[in-house]
Structure 1
Amino acid sequence: MLQKLCIETIAVENRQLKNIRYHEDRLNKTRKALWGASEAWNLSELIVIPDTVSDALHKCRLAYGREIDNIRWEAYAFRTIRTIQKVHQDEVDYAYKYDQRPQLNALFADRGKADEILIIKQGMVTDSYYGNVAFKKDEKWYTPDTYLLPGTQRAFLLDSGIIEEARIAEEDIRKYSHIRLFNAMVGWKNAVELGVETILG
């Protein structure tokens, strides 16, 4: 039986690994929790950017278990998101960034004609399929404290004071004006921002 792998998806721009400290922190915590690994990895030393990677935005996808399994590189293309479908699943669990995520894939398949999903778990707002979310109210941005995955971009934005944590129930969505979707590849400046009226269901 093949071991279950986890991944880190790291943005590379101008041939520089972005937010690498946050990726190292999550990866090392995951390796300790899932595999009992005590030694900390320094990703800046372990990852060698190949000559084929240009200055444009690229995705470095590192798959690992107790050891590194593989590293893949690809140019990154931003998605077009116009509508978001709410989906409900009270048992969904994605505390670790697993390589395979059948639960999330099944939820994403239920999006109908929408471009993205907003996952509601036990009445609380969590994440989208591709990343974390934040909601705007009175010129401030709030991210749910009931997230599924502790995203590296989310951690960076919290540390930077750009977003704050808040408890956001499904019925609270209407109290906000906008939603923003972000992840390791999509920083705050490039994050999709939509009015909450684009959230269906």
Structure 2
Amino acid sequence: MEINNKFPLFESIRIFNGSPQNIELHEKRMQNAQKQLFGSEGNFSLGSFLESYDLPKTGIYKCRLPYGLEFSTPEFILYTKKNILSLRLVDGKDIDYSLKYADRTKIQILFEQRNDCDDVLIVRNGLITDTSYCNIVFENEMGLFTPQNPLLKGVQRTFLLQQKKIETAIIGVDDIKKYSFFYLINAMIPMEEAIKIRVENIV
């Protein structure tokens, strides 16, 4: 994908039956990203911006919005969920994806190491972070836990933390065996739609 230097970032927003989901959290993340990258945040209402478009009224769509200090034209793509059932641990070394950059080259290189698995689970400094597109939530008898230091603080992850439905934990590779199941979440996959998968599917 060609990267436009004017719009180095992008946001993925779930549109459900014509309604953008978690819009305030998306707006806050975008403003924080602008401040980190450009030194100032845009004065905008994401909700008002999206309302100026004819949003799909039925079904689940992914709104992909490239942006920098200004917005580009959003794309609305009918969403098809991928069934990710197996993960391969890969060493991300010092990879940084704290902002949602349009340039995902480093993540793509790691993804290509998945071999016969559906996706990769990226390890940084010995700690579990994210898959190539999702935050991960682990489950055991104590509750639901997500890595304290993900590559990207996803909107669905932030929402679940605010609702106190999950907690953060420092999770190393050797800690995976302390859990029974895992779930993959992102802006397009709320927790209630995530697949419950046994941790034995992480190799």
Please give the range of the TM-score, normalised by the shorter of the 2 chains: over 0.9
Structural mapping, 1:54-69, within 5 Å: 54-69=57-72
Question: Counterpart in 2 of 1:132?
Answer: 135
Give the secondary-structure state (helix, strand or coil) at the position aligned to 2:12: strand
Distance in 2 (alpha carbons) for counterparts of 1:81 and 1:33: 32
CA separation in 2, counterparts of 1:92 and 1:137?
28
8 Å contact 2:119–2:132 — kept in the other structure? yes
Q: CA deviation at 1:176?
A: 0.4
1:144 aligns with 2:144: no
Does residue 99 of structure 2 align to residue 96 of structure 1?
yes
Once residues 33 and 54 of structure 2 are traced to their aligned partners in structure 1, the CA distance between those partners, rounded to angstroms, is 30
Equivalent residue of 1:8, what SS? Answer: strand
In structure 2, the gaps of 5 or more residues are: none
Aligned partners of 1:131, 1:110: CA distance in 2, in Å? 17
* 1:62 match: secondary structure: strand
Specify whether residues 123 and 56 from structure 1 end up closer, same or farther in structure 2 by C-alpha distance, changes over 3 A only. Answer: same
Q: Per the alignment, in what secondary structure is the counterpart of residue 181 of structure 1?
A: strand
Unaligned runs of 5+ in 1: none
CA distance in 2, matches of 1:171, 1:164: 19
| RMSD of aligned alpha carbons | 1.5
Residue from 180, 190, 195 that aligns with 2:193: 190
Q: Give the structure 1 partner of residue 118 of structure 2.
A: 115
Give TM-score scaled by structure 2 length: 0.94
CA–CA distance in structure 2, aligned partners of residues 133 and 73 of structure 1: 25
Secondary structure at 1:150 match in 2 = coil
One-letter amino acid of the structure 2 residue matched with residue 156 of structure 1: F
1:34 corresponds to? 37
Give the deviation of 1:139 after TM superposition.
5.1
Q: Which amino acid aligns with 1:74?
A: I
Aligned equivalents of 2:90, 2:83: Cα separation in 1: 19
Kept after mapping to 2: 8 A contact 1:15/1:49: no
Aligned with 1:85: secondary structure?
strand
Match of 2:109 among 106, 109, 120: 106
Closer, same or farther in 2 for the Cα pair 1:61/1:4, shift >3 Å?
A: closer
The number of residues matched between the two structures is 200
Does the 8 Å contact 2:7/2:66 carry over to 1?
A: no
Question: TM-score of the superposition, structure 1-length normalised?
Answer: 0.95
- Alignment check: 8 A CA contact 2:147 2:168 kept: yes
Q: Given the superposition, is the C-alpha separation of residues 199 and 123 from structure 1 closer, same or farther in structure 2, using an over 3 Å criterion?
A: same
Partner of 1:11: 14
Question: Given residue 24 of structure 1, which amino acid in structure 2 is its aligned partner?
Answer: E
